[in-house]
Amino acid sequence: MIEMRNVIKKYSNGTTAIRNISVKIDQGEFVYVVGPSGAGKSTFIKLMYREEVATGGILKVGKYDLLKIKNADVPYMRRQVGVVFQDYKLLPNKTVYENVAYAMEVIGRKKREIKKRVLEVLDLVGLKHKMRSFPNELSGGEQQRISIARAIVNSPKVLIADEPTGNLDPENSWVIMDFIERINASGTTIVMATHNREIVDTNKHRVISIENGRIVRDEEEGDYGYDD
């Protein structure tokens, strides 16, 4: 599903954040990305949905080669990748319903189809009754559940999560993890950067550890492995 070969990312200010990474992630896998702050985890993840473009190497996500993809194909590529952020990134002036619907509107879905699917995913995260609320009327845990609904509304093949529990208390973190596990169980590939030791050591999955822009560990059912 995701393949990197000798991928390099050098930012325009001269910082090299990813140094020659090669890795394969199969459809349906669940991968944690761990490592110290500044190691390159966010950059690694941003390359996968083309928020950043690699400077060199080969990077394939599904059928798309992200270094060669035409601009016109980027929206189609993004359709197969859902993204969840630490700080939710919901649009403050749109209701819950509108936030989730927007992800379907931008790819030209029909109004009736949008309504059916949005209500379905809001129900899935248990927040259909909040569809008319605005993000600032919701708790952090609820906002993250909405952002998960938004990320899966177009049925992506891959869900990318950058510290999805980073702003949440343990109880809400486990609620979010339960949703991510369920999404994975339905066949979606998960790539999740995290500093949450308890989650990584409890819900066992593949662990890729990045330090100084390189993969220094890649284990099936690995541990978190850091002291912080």
CB nearer ligand ADP, residue 38 or residue 75: 38
Amino acid at 110: K
Residue nearer to ligand ADP on the CB measure, 109 or 197:
197
Q: Which of 6, 15, 155, 202 binds ligand ADP (CB under 6 A)?
A: 15
Sheet-wide strand order for 189-193: 81-85, 158-162, 189-193, 30-34, 206-211, 214-219
Per the CB < 8 A criterion, the answer to whether 163 and 194 are in contact is: yes
Q: Where are the beta strands (DSSP E) in 87-148?
A: none
Q: Candidates 39-47, 98-106, 129-137, 151-159: pick the segment binding ligand ADP (CB under 6 A).
A: 39-47
Type of residue numbered 182: R
Per-residue binder mask for ligand ADP (CB under 6 A), 47-86, x = binder: ----------------------------------------
Task: Give the interface segment with ligand ADP, choosing from 10-18, 21-29, 65-73, 116-124 (CB under 6 A).
Answer: 10-18
Binding test (CB under 6 A) with ligand ADP, winner from 11, 89, 155, 169: 11
Identify the bridge partners of residue 23 per DSSP, sorted by sequence position.
4
> Whole-number minimum distance, CB 68 to ligand ADP, in Å?
22
- Taking alpha carbons only, the member of 87, 42, 85 closest to residue 210 is 42
Exposure string of 143-174, with b = 16+ CB inside 10 Å and e = fewer, is bbbbbbbbbbbbebbbbbbbbbbbbbeeebbe
Stretch that binds ligand ADP, among 30-38, 65-73, 100-108, 146-154 (CB under 6 A): 30-38
Residues near ligand ADP (CB under 6 A): 11, 13, 15, 17, 35, 37-43
